[in-house]
Amino acid sequence: MKSLRPDELPPCFVDPNGDTIISVPYMVCAFDFGTLEMRISSDKLIAVSSYFAATLKPEWLHNKVTGTENCSDGIARVMKRYELELDQDGKDILVGKTAATDPKLRIVSAVTTIQTSNPVSQLSLRERNDRLNTMSTVNLLGFSMLCDFPDQSDHLLMDRLRQCVRVVPLSGIVQCLLGWIDYYGTFTEMRERLLQFITSEIPGDEIRRSTLFYLRVACVLRDKSFFSWILDKNPFFSNEVWFGRSSLDTRLGLGLWTSEFERDLNFFGFVLRHLQDQPGRVQPPGRGTAPADERDIVSTSLFSHAASAQVQYEYINPSILALHSIAVSQDVEITYSHHVTTLTLTNVTRWLRNALITAKQEIAQHITVDHSEPFGFRINDHNSFPWDYRLGEDTDQTLFNLIATSNPFEVGEDLEFN
């Protein structure tokens, strides 16, 4: 796949018969900046966006018309122009223009506004450039999805952004895309493309770090496969987040659904508690009750797996991680001190291997081992979904607006983290 230079756009963004120019700025360094110019049919924009249906009405065109141009099909069209600017709060907006603005003036204005709209911290020029390029990319992605350009365009735009910024804020881009979709009134038209973008461009570890945010998005998109895909990235998300104070999650149905889902997870907990007492449960042939030292080794071995896993999966309950290690392990390594006899080690090894077989048999109908998932397995047969638990009459559009216009990454009175 050919990469784009910072000053390039995929060819589909330039329709030779388009009559609307949409210009966004970009900046690599103080000596490398400019604008990216999309050329799109106004008929296409009006058909899929309530924003453009309103702003491209004949009575609102006077401040956007730049003249008449003979297009490649031989038809003379009245040309319209929008330029992406920042308001005093740092919000990016499209402004109609009767002539192109000097790119340097646009860049200076944008990076200055980015700083003045963030008075708490002093941003370096590089940080302001990164924010400007990220903002521009969000808009390019939005138009790519809105105009139903090929899926490959989204990847090319993300690849182009990686050339321009040090760190790509993946979840931040998704959040900005939600705001873009809500502002331009394209929720229905862009649902499928938004799903495609998240599943193809957002890695599993990023989903795991912001599970609640992505589950909220999945709730308003009402896609069962997508919801299950998100959940499998972090099936133990409820250990990290307490839903008791979230009115939004209640409206989404996540509150009640989580309670039901946790009951299903309790099954895993029962398996773990049985495993902790495994020497008394799975007896090797010809043996009675296990000695205390052997029982201690069993417990120590299980939770040593949990301790090592917790380095990678912070905040997850150690008991859950002990089960996780068993579910995805081919064998159980024994943790013991130097004074353990060979006979004791043999007995404990036999018991734990029996325990591993028993545990896998008990949970086989509930999970499928898949090492491509962050936790190494997928949960089978999701039988219910949060939207089945909604109590009010909120529409998906209403709930989408709430998610798109809030910041789900901040801790506030509506959401508490343990």
pLDDT (tens digit per residue) in 353-364: 776 677 667 666
Residue that finishes a domain, picked among 120, 147, 170: 120
Query: Which of 297-301, 308-312, 356-360 has maximum average pLDDT?
Result: 356-360
* Residue 302 reports pLDDT greater than 70: no
Q: Is residue 194 part of a domain?
A: no
| Helix H or strand E encompassing 32 | strand 32-40
Paired sense of beta strands 92-96 and 76-86, if any: antiparallel
Three-class HEC string of 339-390? CCCHHHHHHHHHHHHHHHHHHHHHHCCCEEECCCCCCCEEECCCCCCHHHHC
pLDDT at 343: 77
pLDDT (tens digit per residue) in 238-277: 655 544 446 888 888 887 888 777 766 665 555 555 555 5
Host domain of residue 278: 261-378
Higher pLDDT, 224 or 372: 224
pLDDT at 280: 44
Q: Is residue 414 part of a domain?
A: no
Q: Is residue 111 part of a domain?
A: yes
Alpha-carbon span 260 to 238, nearest angstrom? 11
Residue that finishes a domain, picked among 67, 96, 120: 120
Alpha-carbon span 317 to 236, nearest angstrom? 9
Position of tokens 């993946």? 170
Q: Is residue 1 part of a domain?
A: yes
Rounded to two decimals, the pTM is 0.78
Q: Is residue 282 part of a domain?
A: yes
Domain total of the chain: 2
pLDDT at 310: 57
Residue that finishes a domain, picked among 120, 135, 160: 120
- How would residue 312 be classed by pLDDT, with cut points 50, 70 and 90? low
- How would residue 281 be classed by pLDDT, with cut points 50, 70 and 90? very low
With a CB cutoff of 8 Å and minimum separation 6, the contacts of 228 are 378, 379, 382
Computed over every residue of the chain, the mean pLDDT equals: 79
Whole-angstrom CA distances from 40 to 44, 232, 409 are 7, 39, 34
Q: Is residue 163 part of a domain?
A: no
Q: Is residue 132 part of a domain?
A: no
Q: Is residue 57 part of a domain?
A: yes
What per-residue string of b and e applies to 169-195 under the rule 16 or more CB within 10 Å gives b? ebbebbbbbbbbbbbbbbbebbbebbb
Which of 139, 51, 120, 62 minimizes the C-alpha distance to 96? 62
